[in-house]
Structure 1
Amino acid sequence: MRKDVIKSLIALKQSEIPFNVIERDIKLPIGRKKIITIPGVRRCGKSTLMEIVINALVQSGVPRENILWLGFDDERLKSLASEELDEVIASYMEMFPDTPIRDVHMFFDEIQLIKDWEYFVLRIYKSYCKNIYVCGSNATMLSTELSSALRGYPLEYEMHPLSFNEYCRFKGISTNSYLEQDWARLRSAFEAYNQESAFPEVVLTAFKSEQLKLLHGYFDTMLLKDLAEHYKISNISVVRYFVKRIMANLTKPTSINAIYKDIKSQGLKVGKDDLYLWVNYICDIFMFVRIPKYSRSLIKEQNSLYKYYCIDNGLRGAILMPQSNDNGKNLENTVFMQLNRTKLSSDKISYYQGDGECDFVFQRNDSVMQLIQVTWDMFDENTREREIAGILEASLSTRCDNLFIVTKDEESVITREGKQINVLPAWKWLLQNN
């Protein structure tokens, strides 16, 4: 009976080829003879990325029957044990006995739902097929866990919600035009992008009420399934409050100890160690990304307070319903997510804090390559001087002279103390750093 289910799912997916999908900026490799893993937050487009690969394969002449796609989130497969995963290969071979298994391209969607799936994938890779793509949403898809289980075989391509360039593509807005009216559209699109969600399904949903319903559904699934169920957390109301507190403190150094004292003052029961575990888990499920304070001392860096950035401005907005004065926080979050989206494995992002502050210190191979300050605007002279002073202090400390200030719409060059600071509007910075 289970083989019949597997066969029907494989056949159904094959019948949908070619898929009607919108291209993404990130491109998965084809023919690398590696296990390609695609971790990332729920609903960010990981499955679509694999469908884009399938379209390219079929367009290049690969027969659709050479595509084995299986989504393990189908309720009929949830009881599948790891030792029964061989039924997937057996089912496919019964369907296509004349197709050499080495010529098959295998796509496993949400495979992390099956315990010990890694060993099945590794066995298939070693014994049968070198063309394997896997994606999933929670911590078992993290590179640290994969590298121990798959021992260096995978190539990882972490997926995120839409970049600004992708957002414009989804909205049908040209990003390559030099016409003034198209630049005006880009400015308007950026303001929407900065406060709305970049999850693909939400972007393609027309009505605000439906967007909010989707985002609340995403949040609840992350909280209840990826967090509470996966890590066996029963204190749901406290963990929900804890997540909201981190959301509210976006872009600021966050003290977990201070949140613990706040929770205890309300008479709620939770251990401090639990909170430190939970914040690790919250990052593991890709809801937040954290960065340390910049320091040349590794010990000081590890003992610093982290800043937390949310995977999606719209998700945060739907849960907290923030006010209009959150534009600056959203902009800093938007800039960070673009840095995080495009960084290499050897890159590192931190924040600078001394007498002044600089939002982002961007390092590559331990060399500080760029300093970035983010502010909504600098019309107020005090704000302008504070932002300039902060980035100049960071420049002196890090010996980096590649300096940028990203604002809503200002574009200029500021020269101070013999250093040049490039001020760019966010929409242009986002497209240039795509």
Structure 2
Amino acid sequence: MEENFKSLEKFNFWNGNVPQQGFLRIAYLDNILGFSNNKLVKVLVGQRRTGKSYILRQIANNLIKNGILPTQIFYLNKEFIDFDFVKTYQDLEILIQLYLKNLNPNGKVYLFLDEIQSIEGWERLVNSYSQDFTANYEIYISGSNSKMLSGELATLLSGRYVSFEIFPFSFKEYTGITRQEANKSSYINYMQSGGLPELFELPNEETKRHYISSVKDTVLLRDIIQRHAIKDPKLLEDVFVYLVNNASNMMSINNITNYLKSSGRKTTFDTIANYIGYIEDTFLIHKAERFDIKGKDTIAGNAKYYCNDLAYKNYLYKGFGYGIGYQLENLVYLALRRLNFDVYVGVIPNKEVDFVAKKGDQTLYIQCAYLLHDETTLNREYASLEAINDNYPKIIVSLDDVSLPQKNGIIHAQAWEFEDLAIRIST
């Protein structure tokens, strides 16, 4: 048991130890800390390696800077092999009680439980500590599967938690960590690289390629193949490759199934549907359903899929043609999701709008275009937005060198300024 406590000491803030903080992600910190000092369980979800662990440690460090004693903070990351012995919620409970006995913290205790989904029955422990009226606990947890909030935890806590989806670096974070000016050149660099935080600690392109490949393999193996006992791992990867290489394109499960069958793969519609669902659950890929702008409802069937990070395309599957316009559309989708919008593909008679973004009573319409270099292109790209008969903000995003004046109330945004514009409009 003493050995177990030494493992805790190694990774916690006690005795003057300050675990690695990484690049400070201020937007997430401000948002999450805005929900602090209450009994709500704070849940960070997102793909592996998007920086959830760093953010948890940054939150803990912020608490310490604001007067909380290091001994009041308990941090455990289940990804570390030092904690392989923590297999069930009972094992975790024993470890927490060991911490309480040895450090005897005075005041509120902050529990930071990182990548908790691999601990059997973790929901019971989180529910118990969050509802313990005999002691004062505040709980922050993280996980890499979207289903962790749709099962027993959601039932047990019944609205007593708040979740935050963590994405790879935004363009603003990218320019911050690379110390570049925000302009067309740096945006294209961002578009042709990736946003996973650890990429920026690696020395060359070959090392980065191996890193991205290992992230992909880890997610597919640990979060899908092992979790769901996948019988055909190669088919699962083929589905992932297809989604990456066709991101920003309208597609259907029938399309994908027929394509794979034509390539000699034996599969079924249900198998492909399940595999896509599993990939979505790990946050590697996001689905945008169609939305009938006039009827104000989603439309079943075809949908678009977007990569959680363009690094998968840029480092692993460069051989497949993938235009800059599609990459731009993918980045705009991610920017909207970071701003907590629900994002759909807009449909109006005989036309399509790239995005209908909704948050509460707010709605934005967004069209993406590589360049508005001539009158024909400009008229075509503006036409879809002009056909919408309401007064919600309409934005067209492009990589043009100059900013265009408003046209019929439609705002033009250069891609590297889009996120700031969306924030101003939606607040």
Report the identity percentage. Answer: 25
The reply on whether 1:88 has 2:95 as its aligned counterpart is yes
Q: Matched residues in 1 for 2:40 and 2:176: separation? A: 30
* TM-score, normalised with respect to structure 1: 0.88
The reply on whether 1:232 has 2:229 as its aligned counterpart is yes
Q: What aligned pairs does 1:287-366 form with structure 2 within 5 A after superposition? A: 287-295=284-292, 301-322=298-319, 326-343=323-340, 347-352=342-347, 354-365=349-360
- Matched with 2:404 is 412
Q: Matched residues in 2 for 1:195 and 1:144: separation? A: 37
- Matched with 2:174 is 167
Q: Matched residues in 2 for 1:85 and 1:230: separation? A: 21
Q: Matched residues in 1 for 2:314 and 2:136: separation? A: 44
C-alpha change, 1:61 and 1:299, in structure 2 (3 Å) is closer
In the TM superposition, what is the alpha-carbon distance from 1:285 to its structure 2 partner?
A: 0.6
- Matched with 2:252 is 255
> Which portions of structure 1, spanning 4 or more consecutive aligned residues, are displaced by more than 4 angstroms?
296-300, 322-325
- Matched with 1:38 is 44
Check conservation: 2:113, 2:140, Cα contact below 8 A.
Answer: yes
- Matched with 2:140 is 133
Q: Matched residues in 2 for 1:369 and 1:87: separation? A: 48
Q: Matched residues in 1 for 2:238 and 2:349: separation? A: 31
- Matched with 2:73 is 67
From 379, 403, 406, give the equivalent of 1:385: 379
C-alpha change, 1:298 and 1:267, in structure 2 (3 Å) is farther
In the TM superposition, what is the alpha-carbon distance from 1:362 to its structure 2 partner?
A: 1.9
Q: Matched residues in 1 for 2:261 and 2:320: separation? A: 27
One-letter amino acid of the counterpart of residue 224, structure 1: L
- Matched with 2:6 is 8
Q: What aligned pairs does 1:104-253 form with structure 2 within 5 A after superposition? A: 104-127=109-132, 128-142=135-149, 146-173=153-180, 182=181, 186-253=183-250
* TM-score, normalised with respect to structure 2: 0.89
C-alpha change, 1:157 and 1:319, in structure 2 (3 Å) is same
Q: Matched residues in 1 for 2:222 and 2:197: separation? A: 21
Check conservation: 1:140, 1:146, Cα contact below 8 A.
Answer: no
Q: Matched residues in 2 for 1:226 and 1:61: separation? A: 38
C-alpha change, 1:110 and 1:18, in structure 2 (3 Å) is closer
One-letter amino acid of the counterpart of residue 421, structure 1: I
In the TM superposition, what is the alpha-carbon distance from 1:401 to its structure 2 partner?
A: 4.8
C-alpha change, 1:58 and 1:124, in structure 2 (3 Å) is same
Q: Which consecutive residues of structure 2, in runs of 5 or more, have no partner in the other structure?
A: none
C-alpha change, 1:238 and 1:20, in structure 2 (3 Å) is closer
Aligned length: 411
SS in 1 for 2:409: strand
SS in 1 for 2:141: strand
Q: Matched residues in 1 for 2:147 and 2:234: separation? A: 24
Of stretches 127-136 and 48-57 in structure 1, the one that deviates more from structure 2 is 127-136
Check conservation: 2:292, 2:348, Cα contact below 8 A.
Answer: no
Check conservation: 1:103, 1:129, Cα contact below 8 A.
Answer: yes
Check conservation: 1:38, 1:135, Cα contact below 8 A.
Answer: yes
In the TM superposition, what is the alpha-carbon distance from 1:26 to its structure 2 partner?
A: 1.1
In the TM superposition, what is the alpha-carbon distance from 1:60 to its structure 2 partner?
A: 1.6
In the TM superposition, what is the alpha-carbon distance from 1:286 to its structure 2 partner?
A: 0.4
In the TM superposition, what is the alpha-carbon distance from 1:254 to its structure 2 partner?
A: 1.1
Q: Matched residues in 1 for 2:234 and 2:100: separation? A: 48
Check conservation: 2:44, 2:163, Cα contact below 8 A.
Answer: yes
- Matched with 1:428 is 417
C-alpha change, 1:306 and 1:324, in structure 2 (3 Å) is closer
CA deviation string 1:330-360 (max 9, x = no partner): 100000000011125xx45333353122101
Q: Matched residues in 2 for 1:368 and 1:144: separation? A: 29
One-letter amino acid of the counterpart of residue 327, structure 1: I
Q: Matched residues in 2 for 1:189 and 1:95: separation? A: 50
CA deviation string 1:172-226 (max 9, x = no partner): 24xxxxxxxx5xx533211111121101111332311111111111111111111
From 261, 267, 272, give the equivalent of 1:270: 267
